[in-house]
Amino acid sequence: MKKMKKTNLLTVATLCLALGFTSCSKSDSVDCHECHIAYDGPNGEIEVEIGEFCGTDLETVEAPGYTHTIEETIVGMDTIAAGAYSEIHCEEHADH
């Protein structure tokens, strides 16, 4: 009886481990990229990081006509005015 319990526990553990790896590999296949706003400032191009986007959110950000809104003016080395920006770049694969 003890041998049967050990075999069942080993089988269950193996299935759980396999399921864990399968679900991880599916989530790893989702395409994610860091994105930024890019525009010409008085001293050259200014880039403002807007975060990482994955899957359908990444497709939305890269779609023609998408705008990203900055709610408050950011003051730093470059001042970024509050407003809507449509020049979005996501790593090297972006086509705009």
Q: What SS3 class is residue 81?
A: coil
Instruction: Quote the CA–CA distance of 26 and 12 in Å, as a whole number.
Output: 21
Q: What SS3 class is residue 29?
A: coil
pLDDT, tens digit only, all 96 positions of the chain: 445 444 444 454 444 444 444 444 444 568 899 999 988 888 888 888 999 999 999 999 999 999 999 998 888 777 888 999 999 999 864 444
Burial string for 52-88 (b: 16+ CB within 10 Å, else e) reads ebeeeebeebbeeeeebeeeeeeeeeeebeeeebeeb
Please tell me the predicted confidence (pLDDT) of residue 34. 95
Please tell me the predicted confidence (pLDDT) of residue 88. 92
Classify burial at 40, counting beta carbons within 10 Å of its beta carbon; exposed 0-12, middle 13-18, buried 19 or more.
exposed
pTM (two decimals) = 0.59
